[in-house]
Amino acid sequence: MSANHSTQTASQRYAWLATVVLSSVIFVFLMAPILAIVPLSFSSGAYLTYPLPGFSLRWYEDFLNSPRWMLSLKNSAIIGVASAILSMVLGTLASLGLAQWKSKWKPLVLALVLSPMVVPVVITAVGVYFFFAPLGLTGNYLGLILAHTALATPFVVITVSATLQGFDMTLARAAASLGAPPIMTFRRVILPLILPGLASGALFAFATSFDEVVTVLFLAGPEQRTLPREMFSGIRENISPTITAVAVVLTVISIGLLTMIELLRRRNERLKGNAP
Partner 1 sequence: MTAAIVVGAEMPLKRRLRRAERARQLRALGLVLPLFLFLLFTFVIPIAGMIWRSVDDWEVPQVLPHTVAALSDWNGQDLPSETAFAALAGDLQAARAAGTVAVAAKRLNYVVNGSRTVLTSTARNLKTAPEPGTAKATLIGLNPAWGERATWAAIKSASGPVTAYYLLGAVDLTRDVNGAIVATPEDQAIYRDVFARTFTIGFGVTALCLLLGFPVAYLLANLPTAQSNMLMIFVLLPFWTSLLVRTCAWIVILQGEGIVNGSLQWLGVIDEPLRLIYNRFGVYMAMTHVLLPFMILPLYSVMRSISPAYMRAAASLGAPPATAFLRIYLPQTIPGIGAGCLLVFILAIGYYITPALVGGAGDQMISAFIAFYTTETVNWGLASALGAVLLLSTLVLALVYGKLALGRQTTGGLKN
How far out from the chain centre does Cα 141 lie?
20
Binding of residue 169 to partner 1 (CB under 8 A): no
Cβ–Cβ under 8 Å, residues 96 and 185: no
Mark the segment that binds partner 1 (CB under 8 A) among 27-35, 57-65, 67-75, 171-179. 27-35
Q: Report how far apart, in Å, the C-alpha atoms of 3 and of each of 8, 13, 147 are.
A: 10, 11, 49
Select from 63, 138, 185, 228 the one that contacts partner 1 (CB under 8 A). Answer: 228
Mark the segment that binds partner 1 (CB under 8 A) among 57-65, 170-178, 188-196, 227-235. 227-235
Binding-residue pattern over the window 178 to 207 for partner 1, x denoting contact by CB under 8 A = ----x---------------------x--x
Binders of partner 1 in range 102-141 (CB under 8 A): 102-103, 107, 109, 111-113, 115-124, 126-132
Biggest CA–CA distance in the chain, Å, is 72
> Shortest gap between Cβ of 65 and partner 1 (angstroms)?
21
Cβ–Cβ under 8 Å, residues 189 and 260: no
Cβ–Cβ under 8 Å, residues 173 and 100: no
Binding of residue 150 to partner 1 (CB under 8 A): yes
Residue number with CB closer to partner 1 (62 or 211): 211
Binding of residue 235 to partner 1 (CB under 8 A): yes
Residues in contact with 212: Cβ distance below 8 Å, sequence separation at least 6, in sequence order:
121, 148, 151, 226, 228
Alpha carbon distance 159, 150 (integer Å):
15
Q: Residue 218 belongs to what H/E stretch?
A: helix 214-219
Select from 52, 172, 257, 272 the one that contacts partner 1 (CB under 8 A). Answer: 257
Binders of partner 1 in range 50-89 (CB under 8 A): 50
Residues that bind partner 1 (rule: CB under 8 A) add up to a total of 95
